[in-house]
């Protein structure tokens, strides 16, 4: 019975129409991602996001990129949750990115999108611990935003094929 159920499950997954994003037979999506140059992004958050994107695209040594990714970031830190002594007990850090994938040859915009991610931070009595938590949150947000950008860019390149 279990074998029959496993076979039915395997056949239903094969027939669902899903295709791997990066594992196409020609590898065109992966090649497209490798041909993306990430433009400079100002600020610490920009440096973190740009490094994450370059790592994921693998385009650090690309001599003649086919695409350019322009990213503008908005990094906000706001206090939430007032305690009884009128101090802030919680903060929220939001990293929002507006990005455009531009075809270098024609200057045509292939993709124009936005993404954002946020993180909650506990404000504790130690200023050092709070600052360290804010910086860690920024590093994690940079990774999440970069992941979302790479996924959306890969989908756009796949649709373009």
Radius of gyration of the chain measured on its C-alpha atoms: 21
Q: Is residue 5 part of a domain?
A: no
Establish if 139 belongs to a structural domain.
yes
Q: Alpha-carbon distance 142 to 161, whole Å?
A: 29
Residue 51's SS3 state is helix
In a domain, 132, yes or no: yes
Query: Does residue 148 fall inside a structural domain?
Result: yes
- Report the CATH number at residue 90: 3.30.160.150
Instruction: Give the number of domains in the chain.
Output: 1
Q: Which tokens is 84 given?
A: 């009884």
Q: pLDDT for 34-75, tens place per residue? A: 788 899 999 999 999 999 998 888 754 456 788 999 999 999
6 conformational bin, left if phi > 0, alpha if psi -120 to 50, beta if neither: alpha
If you average pLDDT over residues 126-132, what whole number do you get?
90
> What confidence score (pLDDT) does residue 25 get?
42
3-state secondary structure of 125: coil
Domain span holding position 93:
24-160
The answer, as to whether pTM is greater than 0.75, is yes
């Amino acid at each position: 019975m279990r074998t029959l159920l496993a076979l039915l499950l395997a056949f239903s997954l094969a027939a669902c129409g899903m295709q791997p994003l990066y594992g196409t037979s020609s590898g065109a999506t992966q090649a497209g991602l490798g041909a993306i140059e990430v433009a400079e992004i100002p600020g610490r958050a920009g440096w973190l996001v740009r490094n994450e994107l370059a790592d994921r695209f693998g385009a650090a040594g690309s001599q003649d990129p086919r695409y350019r990714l322009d990213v503008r970031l908005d990094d906000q830190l706001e206090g939430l949750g007032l305690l009884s002594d009128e101090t802030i007990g919680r903060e929220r850090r939001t990293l929002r990115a507006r990005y455009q994938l531009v075809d270098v040859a024609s200057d045509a915009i292939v993709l124009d999108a936005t993404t954002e991610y946020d993180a909650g931070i506990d404000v504790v009595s130690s200023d050092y611990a709070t600052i360290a938590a804010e910086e860690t949150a920024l590093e994690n947000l940079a990774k999440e935003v970069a992941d979302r950008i790479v996924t959306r860019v890969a989908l756009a390149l796949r649709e373009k094929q």
